Structure 1
Amino acid sequence: MLKVDCLVIGGGMVGAATALSLADLGLKVALVEAHAPQEYSPEQDFDLRVSAISLASEQLLQQLNAWQQVQNWRSCVYQRLGVWEDDIAYAEFNAEEIQQPHLGHIIENRLIQLALWQQLEQKTNVTLLCPEQLDTFSQSSNKVIAQLTHSQVEANFIIGADGANSKVRQIAGIGITGWDYQQSAMLINVKTDQEQQNITWQKFVPGGPLAFLPMPNNNASLVWYQDKAEIKRLSALTNEQLQTEVLENFPKRLGNVEVIAKGAFPLTRRHANDYVKGRVVLLGDAAHTINPLAGQGVNLGFKDVAALQNVIAKAIGSGENYHDISVLKRYERSRRTDNLLMMTGMDAIYTTFANPSTPIKLLRNIGIFAAHRAPVLKKKALAYACGVS
């Protein structure tokens, strides 16, 4: 039986970052993942799954020595964020307003995961169990014993970073609150006529927002939010037919595009009733899934990683038992309120812009117009979203 300090279930971006951050504290870590990330080559098409990586997430990836590798591959930096509904009500947020060189980077999820895995492979105190899956686990007062498909692991505590349908969460008996938004989001990779500017934008239209995420060179990732039936219809179209729909519905500033790939997923909100239960700790989507409206999902997950590392580092530094349940609970206290605040804020924006009422539309356009001309409010909101407040 393999014996480690910490067993991490889920080797995606958040799980890999968690394993690496704890290994950097000197803990012996095992990471369980069913599928290793595909190797990178510059000829590969862009993946559909991309993330808008905030300044705070960038700092974490730098700390974990994964950032430079991502930059050596491919990413797209942006300095501005544009938001509008009607043309008369346009708000633009600029990195200069918070004295930063940029607001973030658009990066393929797989490349972030791969860069983290390359660092994990260099750690002598990390065991990568892949391909491998969790079957079940049991916990006592001082340890966890996990039965995997091909092996067994004993650990001081177990981390669930295994996504929105977390098996760790289910086995631990941790309940969730949440709902479906009755909408889906369609991801569309396109080639564009022009190289991308340094801006990402979102326009609110009846039925749901339309978002533009710049990618390197003449490429972009589009996000189309709509009701499930409409997204199902769009998903059934050929790339050529979808291209016509994009050009008819997206703002003219997009220009001409060629659809390369597409995919869709439903929008849901989930929040675990506990982040810590006994020797079980949840991070990322296993603990919370958020409306992707502002691209904060993985950034909240990376904030979880940084918080857990900080809690355990302080416990080790003060001579405490780092895996004591009272110590692990400090992580939950440090993250739950912030996550709930962001989730509630995104829901408020989603609900407000989904309301077709003319008076509500007038009020929200006035709000956008005012936000663009309220420098102190803009600066605070932008700094918080970027994780530098």
Structure 2
Amino acid sequence: MMQTQVCIVGAGCIGLTLALGLAKAGIEVVVLDSASGDIEVGNEFGLRVSALSLASQALFEKLDVWQGIITTRAQSYQKMDVRDQDSFGKISFTAADFDTEYLGHIVENDVIRQSLIVQLNEQASATLIFNTHYTEIHQSENDVFLTLESGQPIITKLLVACDGANSNIRQLFKMPITFWDYDHHAIVATIKTQLPHDNVARQVFLPDGPLAFLPLAEKNTHSIVWSTSPEKAKKLQALSDKEFNKILMAHFDGQCGLCEVVSERAAFPLTMRYSKKWLDNRVVLMGDAAHTIHPLAGLGMNLGLKDAALMIDLLSEGSQNEAISSRVEKPQFAPHKVLREYERTRKSDAQLHIAMMQGLKELFEGQNPVKKLIRGIGLNIVDNLGPLKHIFGKSALGK
């Protein structure tokens, strides 16, 4: 029988970040995942990348993984350029506007996971279990009981579900969700361009969805995220590389010159999910298990990391209070009021960002003349008014 204070199901970036933060605070943690933990970062760029904000970077620096991330492969960007193809609107931010060296970094998800696993393997309080499924989960008032497919039982004081957008744990404990289909599919690929990216993250709003060019750690290489209607995504996926390259350059107004796709093209549907309940006694949701959001502002990973950061702070503080307590009766680990604070705080932030992304999507979608005028004027007002632009920029920085 294995006993631990926290069991995390899901070894993605969010689950591993939470595990490392807790382990460094001396909290016993077990990470369970059905996939392999062997990650190889090769010469080719991975298709799944994240735009890490300065707030996310600060968290990784605190956990001593940032150096491993940037040493492996990461690309900073000093400028963000956002345009509406169908109007005169545009807005841009530079690092100098905020007295910072850069606005963020584009990092492959596998690079993040690899760096986290390296650090976790050095933590005495952390146990990583890969290639293993659980078969049962039950909870009592004070504990959660998991049974692995091998028959081994795990008893934990807190179970954290980091098992993705289609979370089995969320479904098992019947935590209801609100969701809607964005009616978009995202196409992701790695692109080489005629012109260098110059450390600029670019995005153009097309009538049927945004197209982002994110700079990678080679001067002429980008990761693209093209959100468009399912019908158009299907047509784009059916094109030859040569045809796709031409259409891609045309839709991006030739900002980076000729384009050449140098990877496979993957596509996946985009759905907003928001769990109405993040907490069931000793079971909590985190990351995509609790919320998913449109990628048009690159906020998904950063929102999940904010979930992890708050839980690390709350449980670490509680653990320290236990250590110095002089009470005869030991305080409960992760008391309900602490878990409720996590749920209340993070639900509120997720709600705000989901509403913002829905508003942006609806404003920039379609060719309605009134909406075109509003977004054109609106973007230019923000771009030319320092205080308002500063507010938008700070949001992009994760502050």
The alignment status of 1:84 with 2:86, answered yes or no, reads no
Q: Deviations over 1:91-142 (max 9, x none)?
A: 1012222221111000100110110011111111111111112323000011
Q: Any idea what SS the aligned residue of 1:135 has?
A: strand
Q: CA deviation at 1:149?
A: 2.0
> How far is 1:168 from its partner?
1.3
| CA distance in structure 1 between the aligned counterparts of 2:89 and 2:140, rounded to whole angstroms | 58
| Structure 2 Cα separation of the partners of residues 263 and 171 of structure 1 | 30
Q: How many corresponding residue pairs?
A: 387
| Structure 2 gaps, min length 5 | 323-330
For residues 149-164 of structure 1, what are the structure 2 equivalents within 5 Å? 149-150=149-150, 151-164=152-165
Any conservation in 2 of the 1:196–1:219 contact (CA below 8 Å)? yes
Runs of 4+ in 1 over 4 A off after TM superposition: none
Match of 2:28 in 1: 28
Deviation at 1:40, TM superposition (A): 3.7
Q: CA deviation at 1:37?
A: 4.6
Pairing of 1:112-151 with structure 2 (within 5 A): 112-150=112-150, 151=152
Q: Secondary structure at the match of 1:82?
A: strand
For residues 44-80 of structure 1, what are the alpha-carbon distances to aligned partners after superposition, in whole Å with 9 as ceiling and x for unaligned?
2101100000001001111111110111111110011
Mapped to 2, the partners of 1:366 and 1:37 lie a distance apart of 49
Aligned: 1:189 with 2:200? no
Question: What's the secondary structure of 2:334's corresponding residue?
Answer: coil
Deviation string 1:291-335 (CA, Å, 9 cap, x unpaired) is 111000000000001111111122233345332222211111221
Letter in 1 for 2:78: Q
- Equivalent-residue separation in structure 2 for 1:345 and 1:373 (angstroms): 21
Question: Residue 325 of structure 2 aligns with which residue?
Answer: none
1:210 equivalent in alignment to 2:211 = yes
Q: 2:347 aligns with which of 336, 342, 358?
A: 336
Question: What is the CA-CA distance between 1:38 and the residue it aligns to?
Answer: 4.4
Equivalent residue, structure 2, for 1:174: 175
Match runs of 1:1-389 below 5 Å:
1-41=1-41, 43-86=42-85, 88-150=88-150, 151-217=152-218, 218-261=220-263, 262-319=265-322, 320-388=331-399
Q: Secondary structure at the match of 1:187?
A: strand
What amino acid maps onto 1:64 in structure 2? Answer: L
State the Cα distance separating 1:19 from its structure 2 match: 0.8
After the TM superposition, which of the residue ranges 219-228 and 377-386 deviates more from structure 2?
377-386
Q: Deviations over 1:157-199 (max 9, x none)?
A: 1000011001111111111001101111111211222332121
Distance in 2 (CA, whole Å) between partners of 1:205 and 1:374 is 25
Cα pair 1:37 1:113 within 8 Å, conserved: no
Q: Which runs of 5+ in 1 are unaligned?
A: none
The answer (yes or no) to whether the contact 2:37–2:130 under 8 Å persists in 1 is no
Write the distance in 2 (CA, Å) between the matches of 1:251 and 1:214: 17
Amino acid of the residue matched to residue 246 of structure 1?
Answer: L
Moved more, 157-166 or 200-209: 200-209
Q: State how far apart, in whole Å, the 1-side matches of 2:111 and 2:20 are.
A: 16
Structure 2 letter corresponding to 1:30: V
- Mean Cα deviation higher: 240-249 or 157-166: 240-249
- Contact in 1 for aligned 2:195/2:256 (Cα 8 Å): no
8 Å Cα contact 2:208/2:366 also seen in 1: no
Q: Is the 8 A contact 2:27 2:319 kept in 1?
A: no
| TM-score, length-scaled by structure 2 | 0.94
In 1, Cα distance between equivalents of 2:43 and 2:295: 26
| Identical-pair percentage | 34
- CA distance, structure 2, for counterparts of residue 230 and residue 89 of structure 1: 24
DSSP-derived class of the 1:5 partner: strand
Distance in 2, Cα, partners of 1:75 & 1:251: 26
Rounded to whole Å, the distance in 1 between the matches of 2:333 and 2:396 is 30
Aligned partner letter, 1:254:
C
Which whole-Å CA distance do the structure 1 matches of 2:389 and 2:290 have between them? 29
**Alignment partner of 2:223: what SS?**
strand
Query: CA separation in 2, counterparts of 1:317 and 1:125?
Result: 15
Separation (CA, whole Å) in 2 of partners of 1:274 and 1:179: 17
Measure how far apart 1:241 and its partner are. Answer: 2.8
Distance in 2 between residues matched to 1:225 and 1:337, nearest whole Å? 26
- Out of 233-242 and 293-302, give the one that drifted further: 233-242
RMSD after superposition: 1.5
Q: Equivalents in 1 of 2:386, 2:135: separation in Å?
A: 52
- Code of the aligned partner of 1:343: I
